[in-house]
């Protein structure tokens, strides 16, 4: 089998990862993710459009505030930025192909290093975009979404589109414009905005109203540019409550939906939800997904998990089967993600330094999703889960309850029904029963 290697093989000794089933003890094989297995009417690979995240897997060096890089990349050696970027693309596509990932996601600065020169950056990105285009054609791997990094460079320390200095906003616009061009050229199904610096560190120096209006204007002009240039995909906002800013304007799903509605962006934007952002916002991922699904805005997701003891975005690989099974119940009932996929916005730990570690991490994540998908499908098909939930609301299905839902009863009418009907029964919410039921199908 052709592995579509570049000049060098970066992950030597690692074969194409195959499905071997639950009995396999091969750590470099899938035990649950069987891409063509049909679950709930569709092959797994159609439900689970997995994507690799360029930034964590091919740029993240393992450096932390207390220590130097531990991930020393063989693709990061050449002196010329574009040549270095091509090696990185070779490594990335070797990895995607060996793992069987159908999609990938990137920020502009992940795929090629940027300078402070707008024109130079545009040229670099255009050059590497052509190279990525060739890699996509040769491998069949597709772009899930592109984005611009508007948070790492010094100039964005006070925000990008919400910066109080207009000139900084224009530099952010220049980056978004060429990242949109790259996304269009590469046939990306989405374009993501994650605003780590779009918020504040202190209200003492912040005009919040004005900053949010600037953010909305910036999104509108970006949308207009992309649509005028033929972008047919979905824009995503990726909510996160804080980190790196103390407070971020895209706090959580509910906040973002209100913002999109206020600025008339609902037709073009959906949500890209991330597990560890949900937990940072004091929610579960299930909560965020249900909010988005109910609004018809469940666009895409960033898969990872947090750490129970840490209050930051640790971006660990997903491995919590209960959490994901509950997510998959919402996911299947919503018909999956539309038009997005499942991007592994997750990083191996600083001290995971074997080339195989990146494979173990993704295999574990993909297997956990696959297993959760199967379990959730069984729960929906074979248990009373849906019925129990529906029955709790049965009193609204007919009679006065239905009249209330249809807006036919006044407050006085409701009062009169209460006076006439006596004391409500005590009715169990059956939470423990349902929790056991989830475990029974895992
Ligand atoms: C950071 C975000 C980031 C976005 C893309 O917390 O998750 O990685 O997904 O800019
Ligand atoms: Ni993310
Ligand atoms: Ni994140």
Q: What is the CATH number of the domain that holds 203?
A: 3.20.20.150
Enclosing domain of residue 430:
397-441
Instruction: Report the separation in Å between the CA atom of 123 and the middle of ligand 1, taken as the mean of its atom positions.
Output: 25
Both 371 and 407 in a single domain? no
Both 309 and 418 in a single domain? no
Joined tokens for residue 95: 């990895």
Q: What domain count does the chain have?
A: 2
Q: How far is CA 201 from the centre of its chain?
A: 25
Coil vs helix vs strand at 143:
strand
Q: Are 269 and 235 in contact (CB under 8 A)?
A: yes
pLDDT value, residue 3? 46
d(CA 90, CA 10): 8
Instruction: Report the separation in Å between the CA atom of 54 and the middle of ligand 2, taken as the mean of its atom positions.
Output: 12
pLDDT value, residue 310? 87
Of 357, 382, 407, the domain-final residue = 382
Instruction: Report the separation in Å between the CA atom of 238 and the middle of ligand 2, taken as the mean of its atom positions.
Output: 7
Burial bucket for residue 225 (CB in 10 Å: 0-12, 13-18, 19+): middle
By DSSP bridging, strand 190-193 and strand 234-237 are parallel
Joined tokens for residue 180: 């949109």
d(CA 353, CA 71): 6
What is the phi-psi region of residue 15: left when phi exceeds 0, alpha when psi lies from -120 to 50, beta otherwise? beta
Both 277 and 327 in a single domain? yes
Note whether residue 6 is domain-resident. no
Q: Which residues contact 84 (CB under 8 A, 6 or more apart)?
A: 75, 76, 77, 78, 113
Joined tokens for residue 185: 């050229």
Note whether residue 387 is domain-resident. no
Coil vs helix vs strand at 251:
coil
Joined tokens for residue 323: 């959490």
Of 358, 382, 406, the domain-final residue = 382
Joined tokens for residue 342: 């499942």
Instruction: Report the separation in Å between the CA atom of 194 and the middle of ligand 1, taken as the mean of its atom positions.
Output: 6
Both 352 and 416 in a single domain? no
Which residue lies with its CA nearest to atom 10 of ligand 1? Answer: 194
Coil vs helix vs strand at 190:
strand
Using only C-alpha atoms, what is the Rg of the chain? 24
Q: Are 281 and 251 in contact (CB under 8 A)?
A: yes
CB atoms within 10 A of CB 192: 25
Note whether residue 55 is domain-resident. yes
Catalytic residue selected from 56, 107, 171, 362: 107
Both 327 and 436 in a single domain? no
Ligand 1 within 6 A of CB of 147? yes
* The residue to which tokens 């693309």 are assigned: 89
Note whether residue 12 is domain-resident. no
Both 240 and 310 in a single domain? yes
What is the best residue among 156, 195, 240 to mutate for testing ligand 1's pocket, by most ligand atoms within 8 Å of CB? 240
d(CA 253, CA 272): 9
Q: Which residues contact 418 (CB under 8 A, 6 or more apart)?
A: none
Both 306 and 434 in a single domain? no
d(CA 256, CA 262): 10
* Residue 319 to residues 267, 372, 411, Cα–Cα distance (Å): 34, 10, 49
Note whether residue 11 is domain-resident. no
Joined tokens for residue 209: 């109203």
By DSSP bridging, strand 103-107 and strand 142-147 are parallel
* Residue 286 to residues 63, 256, 279, 391, Cα–Cα distance (Å): 31, 17, 10, 21
Both 94 and 226 in a single domain? yes
Both 314 and 425 in a single domain? no
Note whether residue 322 is domain-resident. yes
Ligand 1 within 6 A of CB of 276? no
Atom of ligand 1 nearest to the CA of 313: 6
Cα–Cα nearest to 267, from 304, 302, 224, 318: 224
Ligand 1 within 6 A of CB of 108? no
Note whether residue 107 is domain-resident. yes
Ligand 1 within 6 A of CB of 274? yes
pLDDT value, residue 6? 63
Q: Does the annotation count 108 as an active-site position?
A: no
d(CA 123, CA 129): 10
Both 262 and 410 in a single domain? no
Beta bridge partners of 106: 146
Print pLDDT tens along the chain (442 aa). Answer: 344 556 799 999 999 999 999 999 999 999 999 999 999 999 999 999 999 999 999 999 999 999 999 999 999 999 999 999 999 999 999 999 999 999 999 999 999 999 999 999 999 999 999 999 999 999 999 999 999 999 999 999 999 999 999 999 999 999 999 999 999 999 999 999 999 999 999 999 999 999 999 999 999 999 999 999 999 999 999 999 999 999 999 999 999 999 999 999 999 999 999 999 999 999 999 999 999 999 999 999 999 999 989 888 999 999 999 999 999 999 999 999 999 999 999 999 999 999 999 999 999 999 999 999 999 999 999 999 999 999 999 999 999 999 999 999 999 999 999 999 999 999 999 999 999 999 999 9
Both 329 and 406 in a single domain? no
Angle, vertex CA 58, rays to CA 232 and CA 123, nearest 5: 55
Beta bridge partners of 188: none
Both 154 and 233 in a single domain? yes
Q: Does the annotation count 56 as an active-site position?
A: no
Instruction: Report the separation in Å between the CA atom of 150 and the middle of ligand 2, taken as the mean of its atom positions.
Output: 13
Helices (H), 229-354: 253-262, 275-280, 285-294, 321-333
Note whether residue 349 is domain-resident. yes
Of 350, 382, 414, the domain-final residue = 382
* The residue to which tokens 């952010």 are assigned: 172
Joined tokens for residue 283: 């929610």
Helices (H), 48-117: 54, 81-99, 108-111
């Amino acid at each position: 089998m052709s592995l579509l290697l570049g000049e060098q093989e970066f992950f030597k000794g690692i074969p194409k990862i195959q499905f071997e089933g639950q009995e396999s003890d091969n750590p470099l094989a899938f035990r649950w993710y069987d891409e063509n297995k049909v679950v709930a009417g569709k092959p797994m690979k159609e439900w689970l459009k997995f994507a690799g995240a360029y930034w964590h897997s091919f740029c993240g060096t393992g450096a932390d505030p207390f220590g130097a890089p531990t991930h020393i990349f063989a693709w990061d050696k050449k002196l010329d930025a574009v040549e270095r970027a091509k090696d990185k693309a070779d490594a990335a596509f070797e990895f995607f192909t060996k793992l069987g990932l159908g999609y990938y996601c990137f920020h502009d600065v992940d795929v090629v290093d940027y300078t402070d020169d707008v024109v130079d950056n545009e040229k670099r990105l255009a050059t590497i975009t052509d190279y990525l285009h060739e890699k996509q054609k040769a491998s069949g791997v597709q772009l899930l979404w592109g984005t611009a990094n508007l948070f790492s460079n010094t100039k964005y320390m006070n925000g990008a589109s919400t910066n109080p200095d207009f000139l900084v906003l224009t530099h952010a616009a220049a980056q978004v414009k060429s990242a949109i061009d790259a996304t269009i050229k590469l046939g990306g199904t989405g374009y993501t905005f994650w605003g780590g610096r779009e918020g504040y560190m202190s209200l003492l120096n912040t005009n919040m109203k004005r900053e949010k209006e600037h953010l909305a204007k910036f999104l509108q002009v970006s949308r207009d540019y992309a649509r005028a240039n033929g972008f047919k995909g979905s824009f995503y906002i990726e909510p996160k409550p804080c980190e790196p800013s103390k407070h971020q304007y895209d706090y959580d799903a509910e906040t973002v939906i209100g913002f999109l509605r206020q600025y008339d962006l609902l037709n073009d934007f959906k949500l890209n939800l991330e597990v560890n952002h949900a937990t940072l916002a004091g929610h579960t991922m299930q909560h965020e997904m249900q909010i988005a699904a109910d609004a018809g805005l469940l666009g895409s997701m960033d898969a990872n998990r947090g750490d129970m003891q840490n209050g930051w975005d640790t971006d660990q690989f997903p491995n919590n089967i209960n959490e994901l099974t509950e997510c998959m119940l919402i996911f299947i009932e919503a018909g999956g993600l539309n038009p997005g996929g499942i991007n592994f916005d997750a990083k191996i730990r600083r001290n995971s330094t074997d080339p195989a570690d990146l494979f173990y991490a993704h295999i574990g994540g993909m297997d956990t999703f696959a297993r959760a998908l199967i379990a959730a499908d069984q729960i929906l098909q074979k248990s009373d889960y849906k019925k129990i939930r529906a029955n709790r609301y049965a009193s609204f299905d007919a009679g006065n309850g239905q009249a209330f839902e249809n807006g036919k009863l006044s407050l006085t009418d409701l009062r009169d029904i209460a006076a006439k009907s006596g004391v409500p029964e005590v009715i169990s919410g059956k939470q423990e029963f349902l929790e056991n039921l989830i475990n029974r199908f895992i």
